[in-house]
């Protein structure tokens, strides 16, 4: 069982930055795909970014490419999402997620078995 706890959300103005963090319980496993998803009110959950350390892969949704960076700290079993140049359309609840060990990166929500409770990001002037 993997427990995930997100932090770092908040309210920022357009063009601002935030760094989301996700702490994972248990031993770090490079074969897990780790991802960030978001869900805005009235919309479906969508993938933002993902990383698979063992395969050396990263994924970014087109909407955040060039503005976000996903990273991991293996020693701390932590996942991060640095978000820059934030836009009002980035407003959503952001969730950290993990898969069971797998050979390749996962980019779809159904591929993830473990989820955090979410952290709210609000971008407004």
The pLDDT score that the predictor gives to residue 110 is: 97
Sheet holding 18-24, edge to edge: 4-7, 18-24, 78-83, 68-73
The pLDDT score that the predictor gives to residue 113 is: 96
Distance CA 56, CA 124 (A): 35
The pLDDT score that the predictor gives to residue 23 is: 95
The pLDDT score that the predictor gives to residue 26 is: 74
Q: Mean pLDDT, consecutive 10-residue segments, the chain of 125 residues? A: 95 98 87 96 96 92 97 88 98 97 95 97 97
Distance CA 11, CA 39 (A): 16
């Amino acid at each position: 069982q993997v427990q995930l706890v997100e932090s770092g959300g908040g309210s920022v103005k357009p063009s601002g930055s935030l760094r989301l963090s996700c702490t994972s319980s248990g031993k770090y496993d490079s074969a897990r795909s780790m991802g960030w998803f978001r869900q805005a009110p009235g919309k479906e959950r969508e993938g933002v970014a993902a990383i698979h350390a063992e395969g050396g892969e990263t994924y970014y949704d087109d909407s955040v490419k060039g503005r976000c960076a996903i990273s991991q700290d293996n020693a701390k079993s932590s996942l991060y999402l640095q978000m820059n140049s934030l836009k009002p359309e980035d407003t959503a609840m952001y969730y950290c997620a993990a898969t069971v060990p797998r050979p390749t990166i996962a980019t779809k929500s159904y591929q993830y078995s473990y989820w955090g409770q979410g952290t709210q990001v609000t971008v407004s002037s």
